[in-house]
Amino acid sequence: MNFILTLTSVGVLLLYAIPGFILSKCKAVKTDSLAALSKILLYACQPCLCLYTFNDVDFSWGLFKQMGIFLLVATVIQIVMLLGVFFIFLKKQENVRYRIYTVASCFSNCMFFGVPILKALLPDQPKALVFANMYFLSMSVLGWTVACAIMTHDKKYISAKKIFLNPSILTMAVVIPMFIFGIKLPTQLYDPVKLMGQMTTPLCMLIMGIRLGSMSFKKIFGGGMQYVIVAVNQLVYPLLALGISLLIPFWEEYIVQTMFIIACCPVASVVLNFAEMVGEGQEEAANMLLLGTILAVGTMPLMLLII
């Protein structure tokens, strides 16, 4: 991948965080508002992003089969990494910090960060965005179940209700039938849906900027283990994802590239969202999210040189 193009694309995304950082430092916006902004992001903008990306791609059974395989492979890769890190930190799981580290080891910002990167690096492959949605679906299901169970030390989150009644599944329950039957949004509706969907990245980065402005730089940059987990998430995990993806013999090159690009994305914002939802490890999750996103300006361009 083009190093300069990747570096520029990541840098532009980070620029979106600057207004939020300034507003936070000027006390014009308080972190109390972040919960409401996060709900807008998750329950309004993200479903619109999913809807318009599927709307731009024509259905075929071959593509649908590949989407299913991609969903399965993405799930397996994440579970392998989650279990690996969980057992490495098994004796420290009583400490919430290490439970957050476990979840942050493989969850990547595949939609809010990944989609604009995919658009920049694979402009001739709109199908790549469909696969990004499959990855997000996998991560969301694991997030609402396995990740929440790890964060809280409570197995109650491993349930059919959490698997099937979460925002990602409910969104897909609407989007997939429309995709299969070729139901396209009318122009009058498509334009506002696309605009709302395109708000995901700026809004996500603004939220990060606001949070960054309210936190101690020493806590974000001062923890040695945080750098280790960011390295696992943004260096080791992508190599695992690439290695497993290359074992799928009938995948087209752009699908392997999509998996690798997504895996190279920084620590996912949903790690913090889940931490806030279950009331465990919010500060540690915020530190990991901010550190990973800032360091992505170096890790992503370097990692993507591999392909």
Distance CA 290, CA 269 (A): 9
**Which H or E run includes 234?**
none
SS3 for 189?
helix
Confidence of residue 230 (pLDDT cuts 50, 70, 90): very high
Domain membership of residue 199 as a residue range: 3-306
Residue range 181-208: mean pLDDT, rounded: 90
Report the mean per-residue pLDDT for the chain.
89
pTM comes to 0.92
**pLDDT of 251 over the 90 cut:** no
- Number of separate domains in the chain: 1
Express each pLDDT in 20-66 by its tens digit: 999 999 988 887 777 788 888 888 888 999 999 999 899 999 999 99
Per-residue pLDDT at 255: 95
Q: Quote the DSSP letter at residue 252.
A: -
Q: Quote the DSSP letter at residue 185.
A: P
Q: Sign of the CA dihedral 239, 244, 249, 252?
A: negative
- Decide if 42 contacts 193 (C-beta within 8 A): no
- Decide if 131 contacts 255 (C-beta within 8 A): yes
Express each pLDDT in 69-114 by its tens digit: 999 999 999 999 999 999 999 889 888 889 889 989 989 988 888 8
Q: Where are the beta strands (DSSP E) in 62-142?
A: none
Per-residue pLDDT at 138: 93
**pLDDT of 147 over the 80 cut:** yes
- Please report, for the domain that includes residue 30, its CATH number: 1.20.1530.20
Which is higher by pLDDT, 199 or 283?
199
- Decide if 31 contacts 217 (C-beta within 8 A): no
